[in-house]
Amino acid sequence: MSTAYVVGGGLAGLSAAVLLAENGRKVELIEGAPQAGGRCRSYFDPVLGQLIDNGNHLVLSGNHCVRSYLHSVGADSALVGPDRAEFNFADLSSGAKWTIRPNESAFAWWILSSARRVPDTGPFDYLALLSLLLAGTDKRISDVIRCEGPLWDRLLQPFLLAVLNSDPRNASAALAGAVIRESLAKGGHAYHPRIAHPTLAAAFVDPALEFLKRKGASVRIGQRVRAVTFDDSRLSALQLPEGAIGVDQGDTVILAVPPWVATELVPGLTAPTEFCSIVNAHFRIAPPAGAPLMTGVIGGLAEWIFAFPDRISITVSGADAIVDKDREELARTFWSEVSKVFNLTTGLPPWQIVKERRATFAATPEQAALRPKTVTRWPNLLLAGDWTDTGLPATIEGAIRSGQKAARLVLSRT
């Protein structure tokens, strides 16, 4: 039987390996890091004395590739969240708090209700979203909608920053439109917020590794592919620290590594070259009773506050301006803002700051144009990753979608 080699054990690689193994293919998964998961990982933090995630990754109920992946590995119940679309916000400058409550159907009658929509907005303000749905690939968001006013400040800017991880004004309008098309445009049933429970690894990684083990797949952890060899018109070998793995006729390689690794391994590969950071903070303290699972922060350094049973976490997307700041300074600033939102008087609890300097590619039109297709000029080499041309920004849904697409191509050629 031919072998499918999956290089990279992040969510793109795991989703490719799972789909291939599910369909009876012989799979070898090779991950260079000490653990699988890529940027979606969990670890025990000795400072906090807790198992934490590297960051807070939000998915939506309408992310169908996430759902199918979790179903395949037997982790359907691994995501938690409200049974309706509901988003809480707090404005630090004014002290105002509000909750956006979209209705479930695609007919968005919720924008007609002042109690459900963004404060100080009118129904016609939301027509701006149609412009994003129709935007060309060369357009920035600021080219097609007005990036100011209550709707922008209190919903679109924080929402788009979170999904694009880039300054929304300069980000790709087409990518923003793709997210809106798969979420807001489908109605509230498609964007119930969902958080991994109890951890990212428990939801996305551990069940996949157990599934692959049950299916007889080979999983190599801590074995980095240092080089690949090409003969004539095909990839012929993978160079690992302990030696080379020959890629026989009929075998396929799915390369699911970060773009800066892929461009070192594959000659002439075009990929995004600019990246944006994410900063996360974790505080070992139970949130106050009744605290929402997730709160958007307006007018602060923090952007989203996540209330877990045993900790409070902060996420700042597009964090290039603060990624080099002193960690304790960041912790104290974040905790001050958390205290204002939740009306806390507690001093600074044990904390941890986690910085991802190259979290995602910069979601500008120029960088999006550099995203490669799944298929390469070598018939037995395919690409996967949230940085490939998935049609979505660099999200969990995009990563899993890319892996599943590569796997389906392998299966279609069998």
pLDDT, one tens digit per residue, over 42-54 is: 999 999 999 999 9
How many other C-beta atoms lie within 10 A of the C-beta of residue 214? 11
Mean pLDDT of the 382-411 span: 98
The secondary structure of 68-98 as a DSSP string is HHHHHTT-TTSEE--SS--EEEEETTT--EE
Q: Note whether residue 35 is domain-resident.
A: yes
Q: Note whether residue 81 is domain-resident.
A: no
Indicate the SS3 state at residue 197: coil
Strand partners, 296: 89, 304
How many other C-beta atoms lie within 10 A of the C-beta of residue 408? 15
Q: What is the DSSP letter of 356?
A: E
Total structural domains in the chain?
Answer: 3
Point out the domain boundary residue: 172, 191, 210. Answer: 191
Q: Note the pLDDT of residue 1.
A: 84
375 vs 364: CA distance, rounded Å: 23
Confidence band of 66 (pLDDT split at 50, 70, 90): very high
278 vs 260: CA distance, rounded Å: 18
- Residues 146, 172: one domain? yes
35 vs 207: CA distance, rounded Å: 14
Point out the domain boundary residue: 191, 224, 246. Answer: 191
The answer to whether 171 and 140 have CB atoms below 8 angstroms apart is yes
Q: Note whether residue 335 is domain-resident.
A: yes
Point out the domain boundary residue: 134, 160, 191. Answer: 191
Q: At what angle do helices 11-22 and 206-214 cross, to 10 degrees?
A: 30
% of residues, the chain, pLDDT over 90: 97
Q: Note whether residue 216 is domain-resident.
A: yes
The CATH number linked to 286 is 3.90.660.10
Q: What sign does the dihedral 191-193-196-200 (CA atoms) show?
A: positive
- Residues 281, 268: one domain? no
Confidence band of 83 (pLDDT split at 50, 70, 90): very high
Q: Cα separations (Å) of 145 from 18, 42, 131, 151?
A: 40, 38, 7, 11
- Specify the DSSP element, H or E, that contains 207: helix 206-214
Domain extent, residue 300, equals: 275-361
- Residues 165, 219: one domain? no
The CATH number linked to 384 is 3.50.50.60
Confidence band of 27 (pLDDT split at 50, 70, 90): very high
- Residues 55, 113: one domain? no
Q: Is the pLDDT of residue 232 over 90?
A: no
Give pLDDT tens digits for 322-334.
999 999 999 999 9
Q: Note whether residue 132 is domain-resident.
A: yes
* CA Rg value for the chain: 22
- Residues 107, 169: one domain? yes
Confidence band of 307 (pLDDT split at 50, 70, 90): very high
Give pLDDT tens digits for 179-194.
999 999 999 999 999 9
The answer to whether 15 and 38 have CB atoms below 8 angstroms apart is no
- Residues 260, 372: one domain? yes
15 vs 70: CA distance, rounded Å: 9
- Residues 18, 126: one domain? no
Residue 218: alpha-carbon gap to chain centroid: 26
244 vs 224: CA distance, rounded Å: 12
- Residues 312, 213: one domain? no
Q: Note the pLDDT of residue 24.
A: 97
- Residues 164, 219: one domain? no
Mean pLDDT of the 303-323 span: 97
Predicted TM-score (pTM) of this structure? 0.97
Q: Note whether residue 238 is domain-resident.
A: yes
Tokens standing for residue 332: 């104290």
Give pLDDT tens digits for 234-275.
999 999 998 999 999 999 999 999 999 999 999 999 999 999
Q: What is the DSSP letter of 375?
A: B
Give pLDDT tens digits for 357-388.
999 999 999 999 999 999 999 999 999 999 99
Residue 408: alpha-carbon gap to chain centroid: 22
Phi, then psi, of 234 in degrees rounded to 5? -145, 160
Q: Note whether residue 347 is domain-resident.
A: yes
Q: Is the pLDDT of residue 414 over 80?
A: no
413 vs 154: CA distance, rounded Å: 48
Q: Note the pLDDT of residue 126.
A: 96
- Residues 183, 227: one domain? no
- Residues 144, 115: one domain? yes
Q: Is the pLDDT of residue 213 over 90?
A: yes
Q: Note whether residue 87 is domain-resident.
A: no
- Residues 207, 258: one domain? yes
Q: Note the pLDDT of residue 274.
A: 98
Mean pLDDT of the 39-65 span: 94
